[in-house]
Amino acid sequence: EVEQPRHPSKSAIGLDMGISKLLTTSNGEYIKPKNSFKANQMKLAKLQRQLSRKVLFSQNWKKQNRKIQKLHHHIANIRHDYLHKITTSISKSHAMIACEDLKVANMSKSASGSMENKGRHVKAKSGLNKSILDQGWGMMVDILEYKQQWRGGLLMKVNPQYTSQTCSECK
């Protein structure tokens, strides 16, 4: 028979995810995002332009495609490493964590619309989508969830409705 592990800490914290600040905690601290995609975006664009000039499926095209895949893998590794470091420090120091249960897939849907009904503010929405996906919110919550289970802590996913409002007294 296996016993449930007991979390060494007794504190609780609330997390709010954002674009300019990856996480804002309920005690007022915030964690900056890494933005691995944004940092490598120019290099990726250059490699993709070079790929477009190659003959499709030639040896040079395959070599160039491998370079692009390697850069994408590098960007993902940076994001995973950063998220693991952040979630480890949070889960070690807090027994209970409450965060928003955001629907990242719905938030990052395209604003382009259809052929008949053109979308509005498409360029701004695509920039927002890029930022949301670069942060890795969904992945961060998943990592936090299993790390809390390992340590015997609790992760509560709160309905995100009305979480960004401030009360009339706080303003």
Q: Which tens digits make up the pLDDT trace of 157-166? A: 998 887 777 7
Residue among 9, 30, 12, 16 nearest 99 (CA)? 16
Q: Strand, coil or helix: what is 68? A: helix
**Confidence at residue 2, expressed as pLDDT on a 0 to 100 scale:** 66
CB-CB contact of 134 with 38 (8 Å): yes
**Confidence at residue 124, expressed as pLDDT on a 0 to 100 scale:** 79
**Confidence bin at 108 (pLDDT 50/70/90):** confident
**Confidence bin at 119 (pLDDT 50/70/90):** confident
Assigned token pair, 15: 């997390």
Rg (CA), the chain: 20
**104 or 100: which carries more pLDDT confidence?**
100
**12 or 169: which carries more pLDDT confidence?**
12
Is pLDDT above 80 for 67? Answer: yes
- Report the C-alpha gap between 132 and 121 in whole angstroms: 17
Q: Strand, coil or helix: what is 163? A: coil
CB-CB contact of 156 with 97 (8 Å): yes
Is pLDDT above 90 for 110? Answer: no
**Confidence bin at 55 (pLDDT 50/70/90):** very high
The residue-averaged pLDDT of 68-94 equals 97
